[in-house]
């Protein structure tokens, strides 16, 4: 199965880009839920491989403090991907952030999205997200 690299951006409500990554997506048609899960899995895997001082991701792990450089980990231990996904999905449903697909706001977790290499997905956080 062919994967497509999708650009993920974190933006402020004013449109300033805070972070940008590229994640692989396996299917051409995915749901908003699939995108959120793929992003969180990618970020947690990247962190857990090296256990750096800072976690850079959509959801703040519960044993971390928010800083200008990301979430500073009090202890360098692995982050639970399932817990992070649950909190990210819950925060989406509680309007903790918006997801924009090519500058169009997604309506629900079940909304289907056609993925191309030019697709840009933006996450606009409204409140800090704290997780596991």
Question: Can you give the pLDDT at residue 1?
Answer: 62
Q: Tell me the pLDDT of the chain averaged across its residues.
A: 90
Dump pLDDT digits (tens) for 16-30: 888 899 999 888 899
| Backbone phi, psi, residue 83, to 5° | -65, -40
For the beta carbon of residue 45, count every other beta carbon within 10 angstroms: 11
* Whether the predicted pLDDT of 117 surpasses 90: no
CATH number, domain at 86? Answer: 3.10.20
Residue 127's pLDDT is what? 54
pTM: 0.90
Counting the structural domains of the chain, the total is 1
pLDDT per residue over 38-75, tens digit each? 999 999 999 999 999 999 899 889 889 988 878 999 98
Could you list the residue range(s) of the whole structural domain that residue 117 is in?
A: 4-131
Residue 61 phi, psi dihedral angles, 5° rounding: -60, 150
């Amino acid at each position: 199965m062919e994967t497509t690299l999708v650009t993920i951006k974190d933006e402020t409500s004013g449109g300033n880009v805070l972070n940008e990554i590229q994640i692989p997506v396996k299917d051409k048609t995915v749901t908003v839920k699939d995108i959120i899960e793929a992003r969180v899995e990618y970020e947690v895997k990247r962190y857990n491989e090296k256990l750096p001082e800072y976690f850079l991701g959509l959801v703040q792990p519960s044993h971390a403090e928010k800083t200008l450089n990301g979430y500073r980990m009090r202890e360098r231990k692995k982050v639970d991907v399932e817990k992070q996904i649950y909190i990210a999905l819950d925060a989406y449903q509680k309007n903790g952030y918006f997801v924009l697909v090519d500058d169009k706001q997604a309506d629900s977790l079940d909304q289907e999205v056609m993925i191309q290499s030019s697709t840009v997905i933006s996450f606009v956080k409204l409140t800090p997200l704290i997780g596991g």
